[in-house]
Amino acid sequence: MSETIRRRNADTKMVPVPSQSIIPERDLDKMPVLECKHLGIEFGGLKAVEDFNLTIGKTEIAGLIGPNGAGKTTVFNLLTKVYEPTRGSVMINGIDMHGMDTVAASKHGIARTFQNIRLFSNMSVEDNVRIGLHNQVKYGMFSGILRLPAFWKKERQQHEKAMELLSIFGMQDMGDVPAGSLPYGAQRRLEIVRALATNPSLLLLDEPAAGMNPHETQELMDNIIKIRDKFQIAVMLIEHDMNLVMGICEGICVLNYGKIIAKGTADEIQSNPVVIEAYLGKQKEAGKNAAPAPETEDPGKEAAQA
């Protein structure tokens, strides 16, 4: 199965930075988009995330993987300030995120998609993107009520920007369709477009390929790279589809029981015995009991073949 992986970012040279992380060499002279130091959160004694250190370069595509319940989505919720960390700090573009709320996190350039799609399903596709543009193309409430010239000008700008963003995924003709009636894959794509509309510097994708067929996944991989190149932003993604993770992620971070167990490039991760153990169990047991748990089947195969 490894042959089917098309490594799109294989030529990236990764270099180490102080916080035990690696970032692409091209981002070295730029401010890292995200720096987590000793980040942690406890839910009544349960350490959901512990001592999470990670640096992401300005234009890096980073992967966050791990078995189910490892705390991947919790990390996203910490970064978008859904939860306030009980320990450690997060810096976005060099600004400490302490005390920010979700809205402030969005304004400072963190955008995300959700594992279970959260679109405004009664509204049209275009309106969904326009809501994403909320803080980008602004006009006041009274300009809207009184239909002042600012309203017409900014509405036109919103329309043009929305169409431009939708055209990334070839969805510009679907602007009037209610978002809820889109096919599943298109809903996932629309969520990415809406996140992009907030003009982020870091795009967090929570299982973007979930429920997609291999053809769609291939297309998504190309599009993620296209987005990174076009907007010059960093992308961090949680994904169980190892084809996608190994294919486009430059730096990969493996989480298990809330702790980082490995960081490195795709090749390093695939040959890391600790990662294989996390996915398959100890080697001794793996030999006796060949069938891996169903939800870790995909990553297991990948890791085992490395």
Partner 1 sequence: MNARTKKLIYNSVTFGIVILAFVLCNMFYGDMSRSLRGQLIPICCWIVMAVSLNLVVGISGELSLGHAGFMSIGAFSGIVVSGWMLHGFQVEDETLRLVIAIVVGGVMAGIFGVLIGIPVLRLRGDYLAIVTLAFGEIIRNVLNCVYASVEGEKLILGFIDPNLPGKMLLNGPNGAVSVGKIATFAAGFILILIALAVVLNLVNSRTGRAIMATRDNRIAAESVGINVTKYKMIAFVTAAVLAGMAGALYGLNYSTLIPGKFKFDQSINVLVFVVLGGIGNTLGSIISATVLTMLPELLREFADYRMLVYAVLLIAMMLITNTPASRAFFNNLKGIFRRKDLEQTVRGSRAAGKGADRNE
Q: Is residue 120 part of the contact set for partner 1 (CB under 8 A)? A: yes
The answer to whether residue 92 forms part of the interface with partner 1 (CB under 8 A) is no
Q: Which of 164, 173, 285, 297 binds partner 1 (CB under 8 A)?
A: 173
| Minimum distance of partner 1 from residue 145's CB (angstroms) | 5
DSSP state of 293: P
Strand order in the sheet with 46-56: 46-56, 34-43, 87-92, 95-96
Contact string 151-170 vs partner 1 (x = CB under 8 A): x--xx--x-----------x
Please give the Cα distance from 191 to 131 (Å, whole number): 11
The alpha-helical segments, DSSP class H, found in the chain are 72-79, 102-107, 125-132, 141-145, 149-166, 184-197, 214-231, 242-248, 266-270, 273-280, 283-288, 297-305
Position among 3, 11, 18, 122 found at the interface with partner 1 (CB under 8 A): 122
Structure tokens at 152: 């017409």
Examine residue 256 and tell whether it contacts partner 1 (CB under 8 A). no
Say whether residue 82 binds partner 1 (CB under 8 A): yes
Q: How far is the CB of 17 from partner 1 (least distance, A)?
A: 28
Phi, psi (deg, nearest 5) at residue 53 = -115, 125
User: Can you read off the two tokens belonging to residue 177?
Assistant: 């369709």
Q: Which stretch binds partner 1 (CB under 8 A): 2-10, 84-92, 212-220, 254-262?
A: 212-220
Is residue 99 within the footprint of partner 1 (CB under 8 A)? no
DSSP letters for 219-232: HHHHHHHHHHHHHT
- Residues numbered 129 to 148 that lie near partner 1 (CB under 8 A) are 130-132, 134-135, 137-139, 141, 143-147
- How far apart, in whole angstroms, are the C-alpha atoms of residue 64 and residue 299? 13
Choose between 86 and 157: whose C-beta lies nearer to partner 1.
157
Binding to partner 1 by residue 149, rule CB under 8 A? no
Residues lying near partner 1 in the complex (CB under 8 A) are found at: 80, 82, 101-103, 106-107, 111-112, 114, 118-124, 126-127, 130-132, 134-135, 137-139, 141, 143-147, 151, 154-155, 158, 170-177, 182-186, 194-195, 197-198, 213, 215-216, 219
